Amino acid sequence: MKYVLLIMNTPLAGTLSPDEFSAWNGEIFAWYDKYTSNGKLADSGHQLDDVSTAKTIRGTTVTDGPFIEAKEVVGGYSVLEADTIEEAVEIAKTWPGVDRGLITLEVRPVVEQPAM
């Protein structure tokens, strides 16, 4: 079964020095390599552009940005392949920086739609 891993940046991530940020990115690339090679990464997903580039649509109104009162914003996503949500959560808990409060993760089952 597939699970989406929503990756939300926290304000703490913005406090890293350039060297710390570079080292963290190295850890993230290693994480992707590990879970791609063992078949647990169904789709590496994508990093999202800065929240300031977003457009929000509510009914027929379009506004710049999400303008939500949140300190965390979705910065990207990946899709995991796991037998259970518990397994997906265990994989997510190994994401670099989650233990240091740099990011928050949300794991959700993907609803598979029949082919049209």
CB 31 within 8 A of CB 102: no
Rounded Cα distance, 78 and 7, in Å: 8
Question: CA torsion angle for 58, 59, 61, 67 (degrees, to 10)?
Answer: -10
- CATH fold label, 2-109: Alpha-Beta Plaits (3.30.70)
pLDDT per position in the chain (116 positions), as tens?
A: 999 999 988 888 889 999 999 999 999 999 999 999 999 998 888 888 877 787 877 787 776 665 555 566 788 899 999 999 999 999 999 999 999 999 889 999 999 888 87
Burial code (b: 16+ CB inside 10 Å, e: under 16) for 14-53 equals eebeeeeeeebeeebeebeeebeeeeebbeebeeeeeeee
Structural domain boundaries in the chain = 2-109
